[in-house]
Amino acid sequence: MFKTGSVRYLTGDGAATSQVEGETMNEQSVHRIQAWSDRKGQNCSREINQLADTNILRCLQCGSCSSGCPFVQAMDLPPNVLIRHLHYGFLDETLRSGTIWICVGCDTCASQCPMAIDIPAVMDALRQKSLASQQPASQPEIIRLHQAILRSIYRYGRAHKLEIMLRYKVRHKAWFEDLDLGLRMLSKRKLHLLPSKVMNVGQVQSLFSKQAHL
């Protein structure tokens, strides 16, 4: 067979070019790559569709999602390009991307998508696959913040902002970042010393799975 690692592709315009190193490109090998890529892409798209309960194969590559996204400048793969990667089966590239962590799930893309693809749900599916794959993620500080928030929900049933901030800043080793802001917020009673708690915290804790990423 051919070497899969050397398949190169272009991002942005949705066109994929394939090149196999050490093998003369003839019509037959192009067809073989096409068939392999199609199969890989179909499996990948099917898996994501199932996890996200949507259909990414409806994507027209119109780019509405990327043009509306408030954080597209900070993404390495714009949403439509990320979806195109999945069509071609380049799952690992999407799992390593910063895009999946930068996305805040504001639903702007989903409400603008003419094919009603639930793009934030696709991002959720990819984030969770990325965590499960144990590969180093590209935005560890964002994951740490999510973990700090979940930890607070586990302890109190509600989000306790002061503890979340402290825990996050400590783990992030950014002791003095936003210190003046924190003090201003404390003085305006924007950050409460004591959490607001759920009475039946045990019930909330039972909702967390054993392998919860705290």
- Contacting residues toward another protein, per CB under 8 A: 54, 70-71, 74, 102, 104-108, 110-113, 116-118, 120-121, 124-125, 127-128, 131, 139, 141-147, 149-150, 153, 157-161, 165, 168, 177-178, 180-181, 184-185, 188-192, 196, 198-200, 203-204, 207-209, 212-213
Alpha helical stretches, state H, the chain: 27-52, 64-68, 79-88, 91-96, 99-102, 108-112, 119-132, 140-156, 161-171, 179-187, 201-206
CB of 88 to another protein, least distance (A): 24
- Which CB atom, from 30 or from 207, has the smaller least distance to another protein? 207
CB nearer to another protein: pick between 39 and 184: 184
Cβ nearer to another protein, comparing 30 with 104: 104
Dihedral sign for Cα 70, 75, 81, 86, please. negative
Report phi then psi at 17, rounded to 5: -115, 140
For the chain, how far is it from start to end, CA to CA, in angstroms? 43
CB of 107 to another protein, least distance (A): 4
What are φ and ψ of residue 88, in 5° steps?
Answer: -90, -5
User: Which residue number, 62 or 181, has a Cβ lying nearer to another protein?
Assistant: 181
* Residue placing its CB nearer to another protein in the complex, 86 or 117: 117
Which among 55, 58, 74 is positioned nearest to 66, based on CA atoms?
74
Q: How far is the CB of 25 from another protein (least distance, A)?
A: 41
CB of 205 to another protein, least distance (A): 10
CA–CA distance, 32 with 50 (Å, rounded to integer): 27
Minimum Å gap between C-beta 169 and another protein is 9
**Residues whose CB falls within 8 Å of the CB of residue 188, separated by 6 or more in sequence, listed in order:** none
